[in-house]
Structure 1
Amino acid sequence: MSTPLKIDFVSDVSCPWCVVGLYSLTRALDLLGDEVQAEIRFQPFELNPKMGPEGQNITEHISEKYGSTPEQSQKNREMIRARGAEVGFAFRTDGNSRIYNTFDAHRLLHWAGLEGLQFNLKDALFKAYFSEGGNPSDHGQLAQLAESVGLNRQRAEEILASDEFAKEVREEEQLWLSRGVSSVPTVVFNGQYAVSGGQPVETFVGAIRQIMSEAKGGTVN
């Protein structure tokens, strides 16, 4: 019998390690097969909540925020590309990529969760931004992505033109910050076990087996 597993995946649309983490997690769940019955819920986190509508060049942004040199940024991007390739995701980021505000994307993801299409939209947002160089703050692109995964485009446009779900997203962001989440991805299993960072597939497999064993009152050697 498979063990139910509730997974809160706290992440941002513009976070490359969140892509690596998600793809590793889904591969781990595929490997576990019938052992586990997982339900993934995406929780919002904004890396750059004050980012303006025009965005900012990625190299410039990382230099300002983390003090990285362009060479370090380039090295980091190459590492992310390699890790993405390992789990089947094509990163096409370069030094001319831009960082954008993602609040509206999080509002759409909240709505997609109510419609049962949250995973599909999250994946589409990751691909649009990291593989195709899209802008996750552009309302036209967001409405198009929503429609591409089976959501109602007109409804998406209505949400984007208003401040619908803004309150809910802000409350969820505050909740995870108050629980001590300060970096993403943070993957929380059954509300109590957290794994941080874009971990490899085997790390997730090991963690999930450990959690399932404890849930059943057993031990893992």
Structure 2
Amino acid sequence: MIQVEVWSDVVCPWCYIGKRRLEGALATFPGEVSVEWRSFQLDPSTPTGDPRTVGESLAARRGFTAAQVKGMFANVTAIAAQEGLDFDFDRARTANTLDAHRLLHFAKAHGRQGELKERLMRGYFTEGADVADHTVLAGLAAEVGLDEVAAKQALTDGSYAEDVDADIAQARAYGISGVPFFVFNQRIGVSGAQPLEVFEQALAQSSLTVLRAPEGTASAAAGECTDDSCAI
């Protein structure tokens, strides 16, 4: 069985696009594959309860005009649409994703990590869900078959924070500074939301190439977000 580990953030647009492209490659791959979602926070300093839209936050942080932000979002929205995704950046709110990542580890412990990952990203990019709000998070967990009360308790008591930290530490060990980042059988590293064909090749060759310290992750490449920018 091939193991695929994916470092990504819930609020990273290229991570959702890359997820779809990976899934497209998996759909035609004849072998068995397991996918594990690893935690990565693009901006751990994001305050909880930030009322700004993601566009307002981006403009303030990077000094972009409203027109520049609109153009950037239009571009990535069009690319997402090619993958069957419906992005609505007007509804997307700035959010600290630590608790969402903790909840993903809770879901992993109960066999629903993949389902929750999809629900969180759809909630954020399409529905404008506040993925930092505990009630919202627990409700989304319930939608994918997890116990809502247990999910809310895990969020309240700080559970799984050490698992998030471990994922981020492993990302640093690999030299990962931008997401999405995909590791196949701890041997092949793929940076960014690459074309479907790249994922097909990685699956086919995953037993042949030894993973080295990833190159080209110090700044945003095409289809990648770092802690201070997205290559949109």
CA RMSD of aligned residues (A): 1.7
Q: Secondary structure at the match of 2:206?
A: helix
Instruction: For residue 66 of structure 1, report the CA deviation from its aligned partner.
Output: 3.5
Give distance in 1, aligned partners of 2:36 and 2:75: 27
Aligned to 1:12: 9
Identity rate of aligned residues, in percent? 34
Give distance in 2, aligned partners of 1:64 and 1:42: 30
* Residues 139-186 of structure 1: per-residue CA shift (max 9 Å, x gap): 111010110000011100111111111122112212212321100000
Instruction: For residue 208 of structure 1, report the CA deviation from its aligned partner.
Output: 2.0
Instruction: For residue 202 of structure 1, report the CA deviation from its aligned partner.
Output: 2.0
Instruction: For residue 69 of structure 1, report the CA deviation from its aligned partner.
Output: 3.1
Aligned to 2:21: 24
Q: Secondary structure at the match of 2:45?
A: coil
Instruction: For residue 212 of structure 1, report the CA deviation from its aligned partner.
Output: 4.9
Q: Secondary structure at the match of 1:99?
A: coil
Structure-to-structure mapping, 1:60-71, within 5 angstroms: 60-71=56-67
Q: Does structure 2 conserve the Cα–Cα contact (< 8 Å) formed by 1:125 and 1:136? A: yes
Q: Does 2:67 correspond to 1:80? A: no
Structure in which a larger fraction of residues adopt helix: 1
Structure-to-structure mapping, 1:5-154, within 5 angstroms: 5-32=2-29, 35-55=30-50, 56-94=52-90, 97-154=92-149
* Residues 6-61 of structure 1: per-residue CA shift (max 9 Å, x gap): 101100001010000001100111022xx221100000000111111122332232
Give distance in 2, aligned partners of 1:69 and 1:197: 26
Give distance in 2, aligned partners of 1:75 and 1:207: 32
Aligned to 1:218: none
Q: Normalization by structure 1: what TM-score?
A: 0.88
Q: Does structure 2 conserve the Cα–Cα contact (< 8 Å) formed by 1:20 and 1:199? A: no
Instruction: For residue 214 of structure 1, report the CA deviation from its aligned partner.
Output: 5.7
Q: Secondary structure at the match of 2:178?
A: coil
Aligned to 1:169: 164
Q: Normalization by structure 2: what TM-score?
A: 0.84
Larger relative contact order (CA 8 Å, sep ≥ 6): 1
Q: Does structure 1 conserve the Cα–Cα contact (< 8 Å) formed by 2:92 and 2:128? A: yes
Q: Secondary structure at the match of 2:88?
A: coil
Unaligned runs of 5+ in 1: 216-221
Give distance in 1, aligned partners of 2:187 and 2:162: 25
Give distance in 1, aligned partners of 2:126 and 2:3: 29
Q: Secondary structure at the match of 1:144?
A: helix
Q: Secondary structure at the match of 1:36?
A: coil
Q: Does structure 1 conserve the Cα–Cα contact (< 8 Å) formed by 2:185 and 2:207? A: no
